[in-house]
Chain A
Amino acid sequence: MRIGIVCPYDWSVPGGVKQHIQDLTESLMELGHYVNVLTPTSDEESLPSYATNAGSTIALPYNGSIARIKFDPAAFTRTRNWLRLGNFDILHLHEPNSPSPSIIAAWSARGPIVATHHTSNETMYAVKNMQFLLQPMMEKVIARIAVSEEAKKTMVDHFGGDAVVIPNGVRVKNFSNAQMLPGFDKEQTVVFVGRLDEPRKGVQVLLEAMPAVFEKYPALKLLLVGPGDVDEILKSIDAKFHSRIQFKGFVDSDVKASCYASGTVYVAPNLGGESFGIVLLEAMATGTPVLASDLPAFKRVLEDGKYGKLFKTNNATDLANSLIELLGNKSEREHLRVEGRIRAEQFDWSVIVRQILDVYESVKSVEGRNVREDFRGQLYGRLTKTGRLDRRRVKNSFLTE
């Protein structure tokens, strides 16, 4: 199958959506499909061979994070050229309602179009106000995928309609053999992974809880992995604990795997805005027990505590108590380690990619027509043959073949 995927965010900036697209693309290529990704980037040299540049980006705040996105007239030409040259069977958009190549591709193409919704948050005012403009464009999308029940709910609230839920995947083999970082004790380390300067990742809750835990376990170390202002973090915790906190800053995915593997417990104190607990699965794939806030998305991944421990969201006391308990209970940690690995296997990309291919398979047009340029929205198209609808009715073509 020839598949065109559109990434809305800058390829050179790491992020959940970009990682999802990269893993999906590689898994599809392993199965022998042709894939090309259209993505904005500010660093064209570092693009992988399967990606096409859609131009550079500007930074905009989106969904509580900074998203580097792209929206300008030249992007229309690039997108149309990419569509024409790619001759795709399936066009797969990601985050189709962000101002990005995704929306431009939705506008310029017709045929079997699939869209994945990643975001889950309460209200996107911009989207709500723009809805009447987006609606006809969004109607061209034949199949919608949401990465979680929360993402689906957000999508339904904003656009109506329905979606199938296919969770995010994790490349288990990239994590399961991760080596420990030197200088860390597997029995005495708490790990946090996420941006330190983003409140919704919840590092402040962890810092509030840590003094009590440090008091209880004098040899314990805290490893904070992720970009952010170190001084800002140290300011919010008592100076006597400073020597026991280590920072890793921004790391690539191999080192990140090692960071997970070095932990006795991995803590995810996120406050919200998380549509799927991919970080939890990554930690579980390395065999590290997980302690996470009881967000609906996390609860679902951990099946209400079967595969990892939960504490009350934004409650530092509960976090401290749960952490102290888990650090002191080796048999429970061993149990979670085994269960967590099993859970992570269920979300391995080799499993998830089959579900995505099933979506492609069920929308591949019965007439066997592929993705093509759409002129119907333009006056030129409506007055010429290119814009008219084909009224070939192929009733049960499969059965009569």
Chain B
Amino acid sequence: METSNWVAIAIGLLLFALYLSNVAGRLDRLHLKVENARNALDRQLALRSAICSDIAGLDLLDAKLRNRLANAIHASISEESLDIHTKNEWDIESEVTKSLCELFDKDFDITKYPNQKNLIQETAGATRRVQYALTFYNDAARSAIKVRRRWLVRSFRLFGRASMPVLIDFDDQIPQGLEFC
């Protein structure tokens, strides 16, 4: 074969390698994004639990519902020692959300609690941040999964040692009574 053909093949291979390196770099960034989003979600869940324990101790609200919330938070906090996040953990977070929704249903009126206004607004903020963090985590995880499923990525193992991101699903709704707080 002539030299010019070899040069053409070499250039082609080089471009292909550059392209692969580019995709690998992009995937690496996506994995980092997923990891950061996961840390942010854990942080917001912990913050929500902390604020909710104050709410659970608030004498003004219905005692039975507060008790339910206290139990849910207890489960959520004690689960913390488990490093592997089982399906069970997300069920507990759903339970925290549900008990908050019952406490602050659509008839809840913040103007009745002028002294606790700050605490209630903090709670509203905490529930919103959990929802946002979960949305952003799943968004990141989905885009990483999409790239990882590509044929080229799988055959050249461009994802390296990083594990496949998982989607997280739990009840993240904002209690109706806190919507405009």
Binding site for B on A (CB under 8 A): 136, 139-140, 142-144, 160-164, 346, 351, 354-355, 358-359, 361-367, 376, 382, 389, 393-399
Residues in B with CB closer than 8 Å to A389 are 28-29, 32
Alpha-carbon separation in the docked complex, A310 to B20 (Å):
55
A22 vs B146: C-alpha distance in the bound complex, in angstroms? 37
A139-B30, A139-B143, A160-B143 given. 5 additional CB < 8 A pairs? A354-B121, A362-B44, A365-B40, A396-B39, A399-B80
10 contacts between A and B (CB under 8 A): A161-B139, A161-B142, A162-B135, A162-B138, A162-B139, A358-B128, A361-B129, A366-B36, A393-B35, A397-B39
What separation, in Å, do the CA atoms of A366 and B36 have in the docked complex? 7
A398–B21 Cα gap in the complex (Å)?
Answer: 34
- Most central of B128, B131, B140 by chain A CB within 10 Å: B128
Q: How many residues of B contact A (CB 8 A)?
A: 35
Q: How far is the CA of A395 from the CA of B35 in the complex (A)?
A: 9
Contact residues in A for B32 (Cβ distance below 8 Å): 389
CA distance A148 to B139 in the complex (A): 18
Q: Could you say which of B47, B132, B146 contacts A359, with CB atoms under 8 Å apart?
A: B132
Q: B180–A162 contact, CB under 8 A?
A: no
| Closest 5 pairs between A and B when the two form their complex, measured CB to CB | A366-B39, A362-B133, A162-B139, A398-B43, A362-B129
In whole angstroms, what is the CA distance A382 to B21 when docked? 10
**Which one, A139, A163, A358, contacts B129 given CB within 8 A?**
A358
Contacts of B158 in A (CB 8 A): none
Contact of B180 among A346, A363, A393 (CB under 8 A): A346
B19-52 to A contact mask, C-beta < 8 Å, 1/0: 0010001101110110111011011101100000
Chain B residues with CB under 8 A of A399 = 42, 46, 80
Please indicate the chain B residues that have their CB under 8 angstroms from the CB of A367 in the complex. Answer: 36
| Distance between Cα atoms of A258 and B121 in the complex (Å) | 34
The answer to the question of B136 belonging to the interface, with a C-beta cut-off of 8 Å to chain A, is yes
Task: Point out the residues of chain A lying under 8 angstroms from B138, CB to CB.
Answer: 162
Contact status B29-A163, CB under 8 Å: no
Complex CA distance for A397 and B39, rounded to whole angstroms: 8
| B125 CB contacts on chain A under 8 angstroms | 354, 358, 361
Q: Complex: how many Å from CA A72 to CA B40?
A: 36
- Is the pair A142, B140 in contact by a Cβ cutoff of 8 Å? yes
Q: Specify the chain B residue showing the minimal Cβ separation from A354.
A: B125
Note all chain A residues with C-beta closer than 8 A to B28.
389
Q: How far is the CB of A1 from chain B (nearest CB, A)?
A: 14
